[in-house]
Chain A
């Protein structure tokens, strides 16, 4: 099935959760925030939330800044 990650289309396995998605994308879990369809998803829910066809996932990362 297809989802959108930061506006990029991505094909993933059905029942893939957020944690598995981040691992597949080789993105760190630490310092990352996730919103699904504009709703922020708490880290404690990442392994529980199964992605749905057409979900829009936004990934954010802590970076250097003043």
Chain B
């Protein structure tokens, strides 16, 4: 039997052609400045970071966010944020492939700006097209177990069901459906969106999620760097708990101390 430490040490996440040691994926949005972002990403130990794409503003020069990410050896996961339907998402993915020279894409199609909830029909359509075109597709979806199976059949490399609306920090509001998705999945499940604190991340990992993606909760924390480190620890703890096999729950008490009646001895 493999020693437990050995099991934890060899516990790597494989998605398509890449192997990850860290199960914490991160976003690059909403950080106050570039240095804080770089320091926070380093503290998180994340190996995969998301990026967005936009039309170049001809009047202003944008910060070069890419160079420090590449310098730190991070894998890039461009998203299709802003796409309102499958056609726009496919175009965005193709642009991102050129811009970042990667065939990985976080497919997200959310036409409604208030809740940013993903459109399942357009997402499935785009996923089929992109997977056929050789993309490594990681779709952002509602925690819908049936949809996740369809996306698996469509050739996606992982699924990214949400815990709560993007940036809401509300935690795993979809918990019971995430459990079904995890139970049924034959591909990695990455819980994305809504994770607002390290305990939410730990819970997702204890449930058997393969990874979590966190952005807002780190970027807008009082101390983003320290918070990112806290997330790294929480994800590691949650994963180790999952691998250790959690003790089951019962409704009645089960004594942890021996119930010897020594007070009544005589």
Contact = CB atoms under 8 A, between A and B. Distances in A.
Interface of A: 5-6, 8, 25-28, 30-35, 40-43, 58-66
Main secondary structure of the interface of B (DSSP, over half): mixed
A61 B99 contact: yes
Interface stretch (B2-10, B90-98, B179-187, B202-210): B90-98
Contacts of B67: 30
Contacts of A31: 64-66, 99-100
Interface in B54-99: 54-56, 58, 61-62, 64-67, 76, 78-79, 81, 91, 94-96, 98-99
B53 interface: yes
22 contacts: A6-B55, A6-B56, A8-B58, A26-B61, A28-B66, A33-B98, A33-B99, A40-B94, A41-B98, A43-B101, A58-B55, A59-B56, A60-B55, A60-B95, A62-B51, A62-B52, A62-B66, A65-B27, A66-B50, A66-B52, A66-B215, A66-B216
> How big is chain B's contact interface, by range?
35 or more
A18 B61 CA distance: 18
Give the one of A6, A40, A58, A60 with max B CB within 10 A.
A60
B28 interface: yes
B56 A32 contact: yes
Nearest to A34: B98
A25 B100 CA distance: 20
Contact of A64 (B37, B55, B61, B100): B37
B51 A63 contact: yes
Nearest to B140: A66
Nearest to A27: B56
A60 B52 contact: no
B166 A60 contact: no
Give the one of B28, B31, B58 with max A CB within 10 A.
B58
B167 to A, nearest CB: 8
